[in-house]
Amino acid sequence: MAETMDVLVTNIGQLLTMASSGPKAGKEMQTLEVIEGAVLGIKDGKVAFTGTADEAAGLTASETIDCGGKLVTPGLVDPHTHAVFGGSREHEMALKQQGVPYLDILKQGGGILSTVEATRAASEEELVRKSSFYLDRMLSLGTTTAEVKSGYGLDVNTELKQLYVTKKLQDKHPVDLVSTFLGAHAIPKSHKDNSDVFLEEMSGMLQQVKDEKLAEFVDIFTETGVFTVEQSEKYLRKAKEYGFGLKIHADEIDPLGGTEMAAGLGAVSADHLVGSTDEGIRKMAESRTVAVLLPGTTFYLGKHTYARARKMIEEGVIVSLATDFNPGSSPTENLQLIMTIAALQLKMSPEEIWNAVTVNAAHAIGRTEQAGQLKEGRNADIVIWDAANYKYIPYHYGVNHVNTVLKNGKVVYQ
Ligand code: NIG
Ligand code: FE
């Protein structure tokens, strides 16, 4: 073969191509596509070749990156974040230590509502600067594609401001962003006793969000003291009519039946699922709805009952993992840390975890054809790790194992 590439990534100890036919459900998640002693070729920002060193004989390129036997994987995909927000909430740490529950803090006007005040007060430019900083950090930790939700405005203007911030970041930041409209994230103080009127207001934004292409997905927080299953279903059906994909914060704290609703509505993902019932899990397995598990949130809320990942995998659910990066329940951009928590608390195997943060995560945000896999035609979003094998990353915890990150074939972090 005598073909010229733009870049050849050589001397790869272990290459995780994740080159399956698509997302993996249940036990399929135990399989991993690995090439030992591999070479990867990049052309026009896309993956153009993967194979062994022997198969690569004859390939040439103007630039070569010698990996010195390191592990190489697709860029990580984080399918659930709230990375655009004003302020921070370190003052809640003491309340947590005193045992004040998350939903009580919210009920008292703190929690999400305190971030709403800070986000309303921040200018668009401030938010762009603040979120760019977080995205830089995500990139340095190996995340090359992430979903970002609005939901700290809870009024038309501030929700739009958040969505415009995400749009600006989509244009200027190397991390690929997928935008979700989460206007239904909490009930604002102004509508304390009238959540139906508030949902009408948020529904009223759907047309503009669609017309201006400000989001691909619509999400809602279905939870005790926030929105009921009935309210959520009505709202999401409307969003579906507009052509949005659906996502749901379901059964995070109390098992209200959001899991069943998500599967029934054909949502692209149902997220959290800590309290999902057997029936809910069965319905998820029958659907193509991805279970996006957020064990960092359970950890940070100081809870001891985690989502039942083992049961979900046994039943055949497509399972993914995300940081849930937000200023309240999960202030971390670090998906590597989530991989460790998934290993220890969700009892997921390294193979399941790698599928969960690449190919399945891409599917959870409608990026199956672009991200999460290193096969011909996919974005050359690549992480070179300071590790010799994939099992090492969840094992050695709390530090950053990234050596180099390439986005669309270009080095963006080293
Ligand atoms: O996914 N649960 C609702 N939303 C976020 C938390 C947001 C916040 O506390 O600011 C979550 O955990
Ligand atoms: Fe969330």
Verify whether ligand 1 is closer than 6 Å to residue 186 (CB atom): no
- DSSP state for residue 275 in the 8-state scheme: T
Tokens found for residue 30: 């135990």
The fraction of the chain above a pLDDT of 70, given in percent, is 100
Q: What is the pLDDT of residue 354?
A: 98
- What are 335-390's pLDDT values in tens digits? 999 999 999 999 999 999 999 999 999 999 999 999 999 999 999 999 999 999 99
Nearest atom in ligand 1 to 324's CA: 1
Q: pLDDT-derived band of residue 181, with 50, 70 and 90 as boundaries? A: very high
Enclosing H/E stretch for 210? helix 206-211
Nearest partner of 162 among 176, 170, 151, 171, judged by Cα = 151
Nearest atom in ligand 1 to 221's CA: 3
Region 35-60: mean pLDDT is 97
CA distances from 20 to 176, 193, 349, 375 (A): 22, 49, 18, 9
Cα distance between residue 351 and residue 26, in whole Å: 12
Cα distance between residue 408 and residue 135, in whole Å: 16
CA distances from 2 to 35, 43, 173, 325 (A): 21, 14, 35, 45
Q: What backbone phi and psi angles, to 5 degrees, belong to 216?
A: -100, -25
Verify whether ligand 1 is closer than 6 Å to residue 331 (CB atom): no
Does 2 score more than 70 pLDDT? Answer: no
CA distances from 267 to 116, 158, 249, 301 (A): 26, 26, 11, 26
Verify whether ligand 1 is closer than 6 Å to residue 326 (CB atom): yes
Tokens found for residue 73: 């994987």
Pocket test for ligand 1, best of 89, 102, 107, 249 (most atoms within 8 A of CB): 249
Q: What backbone phi and psi angles, to 5 degrees, belong to 55?
A: -65, -25
Nearest partner of 151 among 198, 92, 103, 104, judged by Cα = 198
- What are 299-333's pLDDT values in tens digits? 999 999 999 999 999 999 999 999 999 999 999 99
Mean pLDDT, rounded, of the chain = 97
Tokens found for residue 397: 């915890």
Does 215 score more than 80 pLDDT? Answer: yes
Verify whether ligand 1 is closer than 6 Å to residue 249 (CB atom): yes
The predicted model scores a pTM of 0.98
Ligand nearest 222 Cα, by number?
A: 1
Does 310 belong to an annotated binding site? Answer: no
Q: What is the pLDDT of residue 3?
A: 86
- Sign of the CA dihedral running 267, 269, 272, 275: positive
- What are 225-282's pLDDT values in tens digits? 999 999 999 999 999 999 999 999 999 999 999 999 999 999 999 999 999 999 999 9
Contact criterion met (CB below 8 Å) for 83 and 402: no
- Sign of the CA dihedral running 329, 332, 336, 337: negative
Q: In sequence order, which residues have a C-beta less than 8 Å from that of residue 125 and are 6 or more positions away?
A: none
Q: What backbone phi and psi angles, to 5 degrees, belong to 350?
A: -55, -35
- What are 154-173's pLDDT values in tens digits? 999 999 999 999 999 999 99
Which residue's alpha carbon is nearest to atom 1 within ligand 1? 324
Q: What backbone phi and psi angles, to 5 degrees, belong to 52?
A: -80, 165
Nearest partner of 338 among 350, 323, 354, judged by Cα = 323
Q: How close is the Cα of 152 to the center of ligand 1, in Å? A: 10
Cα distance between residue 37 and residue 223, in whole Å: 49
Strand pairing category for 402-407 and 410-413: antiparallel
Q: How close is the Cα of 109 to the center of ligand 1, in Å? A: 14
Cα distance between residue 142 and residue 403, in whole Å: 9
Region 131-149: mean pLDDT is 98
Cα distance between residue 18 and residue 340, in whole Å: 20
Q: How close is the Cα of 12 to the center of ligand 2, in Å? A: 36
Task: Scan for tokens 């990049």, then name that residue.
Answer: 42
Q: In sequence order, which residues have a C-beta less than 8 Å from that of residue 139 and are 6 or more positions away?
A: 174, 175, 405, 407, 412, 413
Does 1 score more than 60 pLDDT? Answer: no
